[in-house]
Structure formats: structure tokens, C-alpha cells
């Protein structure tokens, strides 16, 4: 014969309130712990992704410096080196990466218009911010086995820093009013530069750039802009003098 079970005593209103409060606190604690675990997991995931991004960026930089010549396998080695030169000189400036490429691929006896390799590198450190830009490659072709000719389209704004670094003679020869008018005009020199690379082959079979020559009409283009600025400065000075004369009268 089964014994009758005694039903649990009914909870008072105060006990129910306390139980609900305890349950609410437990639920809130579980929620905070779960949210903390989720945040920690997200932070760990973000950190792992950032490590992957940093690794990929490092690989990209390494590829830019050590891009294999096989990338240009359909070309001769001199053309491949020339293409690498164009890539290096299209990155908005000249720095240690470009210098390392020069010293690895240029002969120690390199000459360019009377400049040694060290002089050539020093020049590029000065003018790289103006000319080492992603300028369009107009043409590239080998001439024989050891000469490569290529053309690059240049688009350079005439600024005072450009004049100071590349065309100082203009600052020395022209009146300040002419220089002010030239710079204020925000003119651009649009021209095509032709460059030749001359290669030597070393005993180990590697090719190095032993010489370079280039030509363009930047000087002529700038001379025309200076003449225009000179006329504008003279006209402005005449107008200013006439205004002063009328004011005095």
C-alpha cells in the first residue's frame, strides 16, 4: 500500500520574490559570462586576422623587392630588369627599397651623363618625389642583346620645391615676380622621356645596368611657361603702377 505523499508547502509571496531575484541574478551572470566569452572569441579572431594581414603585407613587400625574373619569362633578362626598374620607380618616391634595387641590378661602374652610381642614387633621393610616380609606360623594346629603350609619359606640376631641386637656374635668373606668377599658375609639364639602358653580362651570367642615357623636352616646356609667367608678371606690374599713378593724381 502506497503511502500518501505530502505536497510541498506553498511558497509565500516574499519567498517567491526572493527566488525570482536569485534566478534573475543567475541569469544575468550567465549572460555576462556568455557575452564575455563571445567578446574574447571575437578579439582572438580579430587578432588572428590581423596577423594574417600583416603576414600577407610582408609577403607583398618581399615580392615587390624580389619579384622573380620568370614573371617576365617571355622577355629577355635585360627587358625583365627594365620592367622591374619601371615598377620600382612608380611607387611615389625614392627610398631604401629603390636604392637596394639599384645596388643589386646596376654595375658599380655605372655611368649616366657623367654621374656615378652613387651620384645617380643621390639625385633620385632629391627628385624622386616629383618623377618616381606611376607614369604611363609609352613604349619599351630591346635594341640588340644589351640595350633596352623605353619611353615614359611625364606629368609634373611646376612648384617652388620642383624649381629648387630640379631647375634652380630659373630661381637664380628670373625676377621674384616671374617666379610667383609661374608657381601661382599651377602649370604642368607634360612630356615624354626617352631612356636607354646599357647592360653588361657578368661571369656568372647575370645582367647588370652599366649605363643610362635619357632625353626629353622638359627644359623647353619650362622655358615656354617661364616666358608666359614673365609676360603675366610684367602686365601685372604695369597695371599696379597705373593704379598707383591714378590714385596719386
Q: Which one has a higher pLDDT value, 96 or 41?
A: 96
Tens digit of pLDDT for each residue in 186-239? 999 999 999 999 999 999 889 999 999 999 999 999 999 999 999 998 887 655
- pLDDT of 68 higher than 60: no
Q: CA dihedral defined by 24, 25, 26, 31, rounded to 10 degrees?
A: 90
Helix (H, G, I), strand (E, B) or coil at 87: helix
pLDDT at 42 over 80: yes
Q: Are residues 49 and 79 in the same domain?
A: no
Q: What is the mean pLDDT of residues 106-119?
A: 96
Q: What percentage of residues in the chain have a pLDDT greater than 90?
A: 57
Q: Do 53 and 75 sit in the same domain of this protein?
A: no
Q: What contacts 104, CB < 8 A, 6 or more positions away?
A: none
Q: 146 — phi, psi (to 5°)?
A: -125, 15
Q: What total number of domains does the chain contain? A: 2
User: What's the CA gap between 182 and 159, in Å, rounded?
Assistant: 8
Tell whether 240 and 209 lie within a shared domain.
yes
Range of the domain at 35: 18-66
Residue written as grid cell 617576365: 72
Residue 134 has pLDDT above 80, yes or no: yes
pLDDT tens digits, one per residue of 81-101: 999 999 999 999 999 999 999
Instruction: For cell 557575452, name the residue.
Output: 35
pLDDT above 70: residue 132: yes
Q: What is the CATH number of the domain that holds 230?
A: 3.10.450.50
Task: Give the closest residue to 163 by CA, choosing from 155, 171, 172.
Answer: 171
Based on the domain organization, do 59 and 84 belong to the same domain?
no
Residue 61 and residue 153 in one domain: no
Domain for residue 2, yes or no? no
Coil, helix or strand for 33?
Answer: helix
Amino acid at each position: 500500500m502506497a503511502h500518501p505523499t505530502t505536497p510541498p508547502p506553498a511558497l509565500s509571496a516574499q519567498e517567491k520574490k526572493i527566488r525570482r531575484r536569485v534566478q534573475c541574478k543567475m541569469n544575468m551572470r550567465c549572460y555576462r559570462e556568455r557575452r564575455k566569452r563571445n567578446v574574447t572569441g571575437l578579439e582572438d579572431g580579430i587578432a588572428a586576422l590581423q596577423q594574417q594581414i600583416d603576414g600577407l603585407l610582408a609577403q607583398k613587400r618581399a615580392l615587390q623587392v624580389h619579384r622573380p625574373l620568370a614573371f617576365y619569362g617571355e622577355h629577355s633578362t635585360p627587358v625583365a630588369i627594365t620592367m622591374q626598374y619601371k615598377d620600382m620607380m612608380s611607387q611615389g618616391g625614392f627610398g631604401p627599397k629603390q636604392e637596394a634595387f639599384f645596388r643589386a641590378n646596376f654595375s658599380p661602374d655605372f655611368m649616366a651623363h657623367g654621374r656615378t652610381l652613387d651620384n645617380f642614387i643621390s639625385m633620385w633621393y632629391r627628385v624622386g618625389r616629383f618623377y618616381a610616380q606611376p607614369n604611363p609606360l609609352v613604349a619599351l623594346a630591346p635594341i640588340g642583346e644589351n640595350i633596352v629603350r623605353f619611353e615614359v609619359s611625364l606629368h609634373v606640376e611646376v612648384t617652388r620645391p620642383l624649381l629648387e631641386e630640379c631647375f634652380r637656374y630659373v630661381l637664380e635668373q628670373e625676377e621674384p615676380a616671374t617666379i610667383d606668377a609661374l608657381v601661382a599658375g599651377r602649370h604642368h609639364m607634360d612630356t615624354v622621356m626617352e631612356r636607354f639602358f646599357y647592360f653588361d653580362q657578368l661571369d656568372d651570367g647575370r645582367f647588370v645596368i652599366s649605363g643610362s642615357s635619357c632625353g626629353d623636352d622638359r627644359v623647353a616646356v619650362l622655358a615656354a611657361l617661364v616666358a608666359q609667367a614673365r609676360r603675366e608678371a610684367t602686365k601685372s606690374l604695369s597695371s599696379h603702377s597705373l593704379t598707383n599713378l591714378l590714385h596719386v593724381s
